[in-house]
Amino acid sequence: MGGTSGKAVQSWHADMPRATRGRACYIRSAAHPGGAPFQESHRMTTARQATEAVWAGEDHLRLTGATTVPISLGVAHGYPDVEAWQAVALGRAPGYIYARNTNPTVEAFEEKVRILEQAEDATSFSTGMAAISNTLFALLKPGDRVVSVKDTYGGTNQLFIDALPKWGVQVTLCDTADATAIEAAIAQGCALLYLETPTNPTLKVTPIARLARAARRAGALVVVDNTVATPINQHPLALGADLVIHSATKFLGGHADAMGGALCGTRGLVRAVYHHREIHGASLDPMSAYLLLRGMKTLSLRIERQNANAMRIARWLEAHPRVTDVHYPGLASHPDHEVAAAQMRGFGGMLSFALEGGMDAVRRVLPRFTRMHRAANLGGVETVGGPPATTSHVECTPEERAAMGIPEGLIRYSVGIEDVEDLIADLTQAIG
Ligand SMILES: Cc1ncc(COP(=O)(O)O)c(C=O)c1O
């Protein structure tokens, strides 16, 4: 455990209140006097979230009087005598031990995500995939069965079709659009239900509350990847999920300059995954934590703008004669629009659309864009786009993509915060 009293940390972390877990106590402070902000309605207003996005999680780092949180690079934290050191290591006094566990800057990031997700506890990871793999491997054991959907992010799908079965976990992947089939699969025995909604790249929406009820009946945990929606648009915990996952690399950070992951939920579950991550070493570094924290200050503003831009562009694309399909849950024509309207406060900044003429049309149109970065990322302030055939689903054959409902002419379009008129002008000249 290089430098930290790992065993002791493990044993007390599981049941210590987070606020006394070896660092300054500030969580149940002025912002949440009674504690448990997660009990509030999932319809927490955007105005309130805008405030939390700016302030939450940073009080303990303003000791120097600086407006911004410092980047704390120290790997190890020392104490003058054995008693003081032990008290911190055992969680009886505030402080830090070793940066693989957490660190002042990393902890500020964890706190901000926790409060925005209205969760009891949160931890962080080096990437979104680290958050997903650590969660699955920490909470599952050989012989368990996972139920999920066919449309999860490509990396997650690889865990389901390759890594987990090799490790003796049975995985059933259901048709994402068929909630009844998912319920039936859960009822056949399920340790963990894993959802990602809306999905990437075809923006399917699954009913979290309904499926969480089915999971409860089966005694299964519910994990939701909230990367695409963000806590501004959706609160899976309030809809019945036990855990929420983020690739912070996307909308949370919002500037395509730092990778990270987060997990939020009930204390016992988050601590179990935290121990796994601590031992497996996929910790968030303080530089990335700082960049993600800074990005998150504008999360609410960015998402409001991206929601509005995406809605406007989706309507514009829907009316375009060369566009054969538009996938955006905010459109009344979207098959899951009612479910989305019931569980989301905004419909998000990502959409996809298919061009008449398939891949030939994509080849022709793609180079013409001047206000869309052609790349595999999403969720940033810049509009970013590209065909899944070269990005998220590059390893599939055209036939496999078609079977997943991804036509060759599909372009994923992650809408940025630019002036929407400029984006529409760019789309106009590119699509023709
Ligand atoms: C929905 C979703 N979840 C998880 C991930 C993985 O995140 P990361 O690239 O930070 O590992 C991605 C990446 O694109 C994603 O789109």
Atom of ligand 1 nearest to the CA of 377: 14
Q: Whose CA is nearest to atom 16 of ligand 1?
A: 153
- How far, CA to CA in Å, does 172 sit from each of 64, 191, 193, 198? 52, 11, 10, 19
Would the pLDDT of 392 be above 90?
Answer: no
Fold exhibited by the domain 6-141+220-296:
Aspartate Aminotransferase; domain 2 (3.40.640)
Q: Is 150 a catalytic residue?
A: no
d(CA 113, CA 107) in angstroms, rounded, equals 10
Pairing of strands 410-414, 350-355: antiparallel
Tens-digit pLDDT profile for residues 377-388: 999 999 999 998
What crossing angle do the helices spanning 299-318 and 420-431 adopt, rounded to 10°?
40
Distance 333 CA to ligand 1 centre (A): 27
Atom of ligand 1 nearest to the CA of 196: 1
Distance 159 CA to ligand 1 centre (A): 13
Least confident of 132-146, 374-388, 395-409: 395-409
Pairing of strands 350-355, 145-149: unpaired
d(CA 283, CA 99) in angstroms, rounded, equals 8
CA terminus-to-terminus distance, the chain: 59
pLDDT value of residue 338: 98
Banded pLDDT at 99 (limits 50, 70, 90) = very high
Q: Is 194 a catalytic residue?
A: no
d(CA 422, CA 432) in angstroms, rounded, equals 15
Q: Which CATH number fits domain 299-431: 3.40.50.10790, 3.30.300.30, 3.90.1150.10, 3.40.50.10140?
A: 3.90.1150.10
Count of residues for the chain? Answer: 432
Residues with CB under 6 A from ligand 1: 127-129, 153, 155, 196, 200, 225, 227-228, 247, 249, 259, 261
Tell me, yes or no, if the two domains 6-141+220-296 and 299-431 fold the same way: no
Distance 258 CA to ligand 1 centre (A): 13
Tens-digit pLDDT profile for residues 68-97: 889 999 999 999 899 999 999 887 888 899
Would the pLDDT of 279 be above 80?
Answer: yes
The pLDDT of 62-69, averaged and rounded, is 79
Distance 377 CA to ligand 1 centre (A): 9
Would the pLDDT of 353 be above 80?
Answer: yes
pLDDT value of residue 37: 34
Give residue limits of the domains in the chain.
Answer: 6-141+220-296, 299-431
- How far, CA to CA in Å, does 246 sit from each of 17, 124, 175? 23, 9, 23
Q: Which is nearest to 221 in space by CA: 152, 145, 276? A: 145
Pairing of strands 373-374, 350-355: unpaired
Is pTM, for the whole model, over 0.75? yes
Tell me the Ramachandran region of residue 181: left when phi exceeds 0, alpha when psi lies from -120 to 50, beta otherwise: alpha
